[in-house]
Chains A and B, each alone.
Chain A
Amino acid sequence: MPSWSIYPASADRLLSFIGIGVHWSILQYVLGLPLLAFIAELIYLKTGNEKWMRLAKTFVKGFVIVFAVGAATGTASEFGLVLLWPNLTEAAGRYIYFPLYAEVFAFLMEVVFIYLLWYGWERLPKKVHVIVMLLALIGPWFSGAMIVSVNSYMVAPTGIHPAYDPTTGEWLYQQGYPKLLLAVPNDYVSLLNVTLLQQLGMEIVKNQPANANFTLVLMPVKIVNRLAYESWHGYTVKDSILYLVLKPEYRNNAQLLNTPVKAIVDKILVTTINYVGVESVTFKSPVYRASILHVLGSAITVSSFTAFAGFALRKLKGYKPEDEDYIDTGLKYTLLFALIAIAVQGFVFGHEMGRAIAYYNPEKFAAMEATSNTTFSISRAFHLEGFMKMLAYGSTSAHLPNYDKIPDDYCVLGVTQSLKTEEMSRVGSCKPPLLIHYVYYTKIGLAILVGLYALLGSYYVVIKKAIPPKWILSLALPAAVVIQMVSWMGWAVREIGRKPWTIYGVMTPDVAHTFNPAPTSAVAAVALFFIVILLALAYLVWKVLWIPGRPVSVEGE
C-alpha cells in the first residue's frame, strides 16, 4: 500500500502538513466567528436588546485574538512555501499569481477593519459599526476565496480532462488520459512531429479559436509532468524528451538544441494562461465552487460548535446570576447555528465537494472509497457502494472507479525503459495512498455523530423550549474537539489524497521541492515549535475568554 514515505520529500511534506494544519485550525475561527458576531449585531440593531451586543463582542474578542496568531501562522505558511517548495512558489507566482496578489488586498482589509471594529467599538455610530463588522467579515472571506482558488487549481487545474468514465467504469490511461489543455504557440508546433505526439496521446482540440497564433491541444499529463521536471532541473532541448519529438530537420539546430526547456515551457504556459484568462484561471478550476463553499461551511461549523462549547461549559461550571440570560441566549444561538451549519455542510457543500472530486480526481475518489480487493473497505463492508454511486454520479448504474486498475506508473512517461525507471524513482508511485479511505470514513462517521448530537440538543431548545440537560451540555467540549478533528481530517484527505501530485497533472513533489532541504532534526524542531505555539494559544484563549467569567468589556482590555 503506498504510504506517506513512498512519495518524495516526506519530512518536508510532514512539516508543511503540520504548519498549514495549525494555520487551518486557527483560521477557521477567523472565517466563522465574524459571521456569528455579524448576525448577533444585526439582531441587536433590530431588537435593541443589549445581550445581543454583548454576544457580538464576545465573538469579536475571540476573533481578534485568533486573528493575530492566524496572521502569524499565515506568514509562516507563506514563507514555508517559499523555502520548502520554492519551485512550486515560483510557478504559482509566474502563472497563477493573481489570487495571491489579490489576497494582499483582502489581508489588508482584514487588518484594517478587524482592528477598527475592536478599537472603534464605542466610538463609531451603531450603523457605521455594523458596516465595519460586515467589512471585517468580508475581508477573511475574500481572503479565503483567493487562497482556495489556488488550492483548487492544485486539486484540479483548469483544463484538466480526467482518466475515468463512470458510465462504463473504464480507466482511460491507454488513451493517454489524464490530459491537460495547453495553448502551444504555432512557431513551436511547426518544430514538432505532431504525429508522434498524437501517438503518445496528444489530441488537437477540434474547435480552435479563429486567427490564433497558437494551437489548443490536450496533452497527456505524463508529458507535462516530465517537462516540469526538466524545466526545474536545467535541461536544454538536446537532453530533453522534446528532442525525441523534434522534426528531423531541426535536430542539428544548435541554437534550438541549447534552448532551456524552461524557456519553452514558460512560453507555452504563458500562452495558455493568456488564453484561459490571467485573472480568472484559478477560479475556473472545476472544483473551485464546491471547494470554497466547503471551506466556509467547515469554518462556520467549527466556530459555532466551539462557541457553543464555551457557553455550555460556562453554564455547567457556574456564572454570575446577572449573566444567566446572556449565557442562555448564547448557548441557544450557537447550538442552532451549529446544527444548521453542519446540516448544510454535510448535505449540500460536502455533497458538491464529493461529486467534484469523483469527476475530476477519480484516482483520489477510488482511494477514498478503497475500491481495492487488497484492503478492507468500510463502504464495501456496509454495502454502501450503490449509495456512493448515487451520491457521486447521480445513478446506481454508474461505476465506482476501481483502485486496483490504476496503473502504478500512469503519471510517468515510459517511452524507454530507462526513462520510465528514472521517472518512477523520482515520483515514487502514481497511486494515491489508501490510507485516506480510513481517514475519510472516520471523518464522515464522526461528523454524523456530532450532527446527531446537535440535533438532539436543538430538540430541547426548539421543541421543549428549554436548555438542554446537563449530560448534553457536558458533551459540548468533546463535540467541539471532534468537529475540529473532522475538519482537519477533511483537509488531510484533500491534501494527502492528491499524491503523487502537488499540482494534479502538472507537478510532483520532487519538482516542487527545494534543492537544499533542511536536515530532519531541524524539520522536527520547527514542527515542535508550531505545536507548542498552538498549545500556548489554546491556553491563552482559555485564560482570556474563559477564566474571567465576567462581562466582556472592550474598555480597558
Chain B
Amino acid sequence: MEGVTIAVFWLAYVFSFHIILVNLGIYLGLMVPYLKYRAKKMGDNGLLRVSKNLMKFYAATYALAGVFATAFTVFLLSFYPFFLGLAGNIALAPFAIAILMIVLHFFSISSYYYGWDRFKESTHNFIGILLAISALLIPLGFRSVFAFLNTPVGLYFDVTSEGIVPRLDLTEALTNPTLYPLYLKSLVAAITVGALATGGYAAVKYFKAEDEEYKNALKLYTQKTVTIGLIGLIIMFFLGLWYTLSLRGVEYKFNNIFAPLGWSVGGGSAEFNVSWLFVLKMIFYIAQLVLVFQVYQAIKKAGFVNRGGANKLLYAGLLGIATIALGELLNAFSQYPYFVADVQSPPVEIPPQAAPYLLNVLNLANVNKLATLTGVQLLTVGFMVFLSLSAVWFLYVIFKEFEKEV
C-alpha cells in the first residue's frame, strides 16, 4: 500500500471519531449549564436529572474526543513532520486561542462535574458559563486554521539575513472570506446534531421511564430539541450556501466538489472528484429534514410522538452524526493532495526561492517514509483494532449505566 494512502487513512479515521465527539461536546457544553440553570430555577427535578445525565455522558466521553485529537496531531507529526514544522512557525495565534480554551474547557468539565451539589449555585453557574464560552471559542481557533488551509490570507514571507521567514498577519487572517461561514456553520451543525441525537435518545428513553417527573422532563427536553433541530437544519441550508459561495475564490477546491455537478469557477474541472461525497451529504441532510419535520408535526398534532416517532428522531440524530463526519471528509478531501487548497494560485506573493520547498511540504504525497514502515503499520492496525473495540465497550458500559438511570 502506498504511503500516502496509509497516512490519509489513519488521519481520516481518527479525525472522524474526533469530530463526531467534539460536535456533541459543543452542544453539551452549551446545553448542560443552561438546562441545569433552568431546572434549578423552576425547581424541576426531572429536568435536573436529564441535565445531570447529559453531563455524565459528556464528562465520560470528552477525554475520548481529546485522545483522538492527540492521535490526529501525532499522526500528522509522524507522517508530515515538515508540514507541521511550517504550521508551527506560522500559526501560533489561532492555535494558541484553541489550546488555552481546551485547557479551560477540560478544567470546566471536571469542575462542573465534581462541583455538582458541592459548589455554591452561583459558583457552579459561573463554571457553566466558562464551559459554554470555551466550547464556543475552541472551534474559532481551529476553524481559523482550516480557513487558512482553504486560502492563506495574511501569509507573508520576510526576506531576512537568516533566510526567508514566513509569518502570519492575524488581523488579515481574521478577514479570510471562508472563516466566518465555516465557523458559524460548524457551530450551528454541532448544536443541531447534538439536539437531534440527544433528543432522539431522550424520546426513546421516555417510553421506558417509570418516574412521572422524569418522563415529563424527557418529554419537554425532546420537544425543545426537535424545535432546535428543525431551526438548525433550516439555518444550515443558508450557512452551507454561504460557505459554498465563499469557496468560489478557491477554484481547485470548489471545482473538485461542484464541477462534476455542472457548476464550476474559472472554467476549471475537477482534478480530484469528490462531488459524490457532497451528493451523499445532501441526501443525508434531506433525510434528516424530512424525519425531523415529521416528528415536529406529530408533536404539534398530538403533543408528543409515539414510539415510531421517537425512533425517527433517533435516526435523524444518527444521520446527523454521519453527516458531520461526511462534511469534514468532504472539506478535507476536496483539496487533496494539498494541505493548502489554493497552493498553486495563492493570494500571496511567494518568493521564487521558497516556492519549491512550499510545494513539496504542502503536498500530501510526500509522506515521511520512516513512519509507513510495515512493522509500524502492523503495530498500528493491532493497537487500533484493540483500542477501537475497547472504546466501543467503554461506550456500551456508559450507556448501560444510563439504562439503569431510567
Q: Which A residues contact B (CB, under 8 angstroms)?
A: 65, 67-69, 71-76, 78-80, 82-83, 85-87, 89-95, 97-98, 100-105, 107-116, 119-120, 123-124, 233-235, 260, 270, 273-274, 278-279, 514-516, 518, 522, 526, 529-530, 533, 536-537, 540, 543-544, 547-548, 557
Contact = CB atoms under 8 A, between A and B. Distances in A.
Given A234-B163, A270-B370, A540-B114, A107 B88 contact: no
A511 to B, nearest CB: 11
Contact of A82 (B88, B118, B368): B88
A540 B110 CA distance: 9
B69 A89 contact: no
Given A105-B383, A108-B71, A116-B397, A543 B118 contact: yes
B276 interface: no
Interface in B140-172: 162-168
A73 B92 contact: no
Contacts of A95: 370
A516 B92 contact: yes
Given A89-B77, A112-B391, A123-B401, A526 B100 contact: yes
B95 A68 contact: no
Contact of A533 (B73, B92, B104): B104
B160 to A, nearest CB: 9
B89 interface: yes
Interface in B91-121: 91-93, 95-96, 98-100, 102-107, 109-111, 114-115, 118-119
Given A93-B81, A93-B84, A123-B397, A65 B110 contact: yes
B25 to A, nearest CB: 13
A305 B94 CA distance: 40
B355 interface: no
B63 A98 contact: no
A69 B110 CA distance: 8
B70 A68 contact: no
Given A86-B88, A93-B84, A119 B60 contact: yes
Nearest to A105: B383
B106 A71 contact: yes
A90 B88 CA distance: 9
Contact of B77 (A68, A92, A260, A543): A92
B82 A94 contact: yes
B46 to A, nearest CB: 16
Contacts of A82: 73, 77, 84, 87-88, 95
Which of B99, B162, B371 has the largest number of chain A CB atoms within 10 A? B99
Nearest to A544: B114
A510 to B, nearest CB: 10
Given A111-B66, A233-B162, 8 more contacts: A68-B63, A69-B107, A86-B85, A93-B368, A107-B67, A108-B383, A111-B67, A537-B110
A113 B82 contact: no
Contacts of B104: 533
Given A71-B106, A540-B110, A540-B114, A79 B99 contact: yes
Given A123-B400, A516-B165, A100 B77 contact: yes
Contacts of A112: 64, 387, 390-391, 393-394
16 contacts: A75-B99, A79-B96, A83-B95, A86-B89, A87-B85, A90-B82, A97-B78, A100-B74, A107-B71, A108-B68, A112-B391, A516-B90, A516-B165, A533-B103, A540-B115, A544-B115
A102 B377 CA distance: 11
B73 A78 contact: yes
Interface in B358-381: 368, 370-371, 373, 375-376, 379-380
A329 B59 CA distance: 31
B84 A89 contact: yes
Given A93-B84, A516-B92, A533-B103, A103 B74 contact: yes
B190 to A, nearest CB: 20
Contact of B92 (A124, A514, A547): A514
A71 B391 contact: no
A119 B379 CA distance: 29
Contacts of A543: 114-115, 118-119
Nearest to B52: A556
Contact of A80 (B99, B111, B164, B380): B99
Contacts of B379: 102
Contacts of A109: 387, 390
A94 B368 contact: yes
Contact of B394 (A97, A116, A515, A547): A116
Contacts of B163: 233-235
Contacts of A87: 85, 89
B406 interface: no
A92 B394 CA distance: 32
A351 to B, nearest CB: 34
The 6 closest A-B pairs by CB, nearest first: A86-B88, A90-B85, A72-B106, A93-B81, A234-B163, A93-B77
Contacts of B110: 65, 68-69, 537, 540
B75 interface: yes
A540 B167 contact: no
Which of A91, A94, A110, A270 has the largest number of chain B CB atoms within 10 A? A94
A82 B398 CA distance: 34
Contacts of A94: 81-82, 368, 370
B87 to A, nearest CB: 7
A273 B370 contact: yes
Given A120-B397, A123-B401, A108 B387 contact: yes
Contacts of B370: 94-95, 97, 270, 273-274, 278
